Amino acid sequence: MTERTFSILKPDATKRNLTGKINAVIEESGLRIVAQRRIKMTQEQAEDFYDVHRERPFYGALVEFMTSAPVVVQVLEGPKAVAKYRDVMGATNPEQADAGTIRKLFALSVGENSVHGSDSVDNAKIEIAQFFDAEDIVG
Ligand code: GDP
């Protein structure tokens, strides 16, 4: 069934001018980019977005990284979009990512891993609402 998921092209990707190349992988997978905006995340946005990781040792580094350069926030749509995009992204650590995935192709490390994608339909709804108004998503 058709779903929506939330995606971020992270600072390591925008800094290396990889927005187009990553979008090509997304589109070739069959997912449709139905909303997209380039922003500089604020400290507060990054802290709220990664609140579930607040107690993890890498939380500070993660927030610092996500605010270090612009990101591209996106809404992707398609059949089973949440699981589909997780497959297209590949494992969190690029060394463990399958061939052809975005992280295998482009990621630098477990921290600078080029993309975020929601891990459930419920979280996708919450994350989309953090960055997009409903009328700005054109499916
Ligand atoms: P994801 O759902 O595959 O993005 O992975 P997680 O939800 O487990 O982690 C969220 C993000 O935190 C990852 O995408 C990484 O950017 C970052 N992260 C996770 N583990 C580590 C780590 O061990 N070190 C650092 N520096 N960052 C990490």
Span from the CA of 135 to the centroid of ligand 1 (angstroms): 31
> Ligand 1, atom 8: nearest CA belongs to which residue?
92
Length of the chain (residues): 139
Residue located nearest, by CA, to atom 5 of ligand 1: 92
Question: Are 22 and 13 contacting, i.e. CB atoms less than 8 angstroms apart?
Answer: yes
Q: 134 Cβ partners below 8 Å, 6+ apart?
A: none
The reply to whether 53 belongs to the active site is no
pLDDT per residue as tens, the chain (139 positions)? 899 999 999 999 999 999 999 999 999 999 999 999 999 999 999 999 999 999 999 999 999 999 999 999 999 999 999 999 999 999 999 999 999 999 999 999 999 999 999 999 999 999 999 999 999 999 9
Q: Of all atoms in ligand 1, which is nearest to the CA of residue 113?
A: 16
User: Using a 6 Å cutoff on CB, does residue 113 contact ligand 1?
Assistant: yes
pTM, to two decimals:
0.98
Please enumerate in sequence order all residues whose Cβ is within 8 A of that of 115, keeping only pairs 6 or more positions apart, or say none: 7, 8, 9, 10, 13, 22, 89, 102, 103, 107
91 lines ligand 1 (CB under 6 A): no
Shortest-distance atom of ligand 1 to CA 91: 3
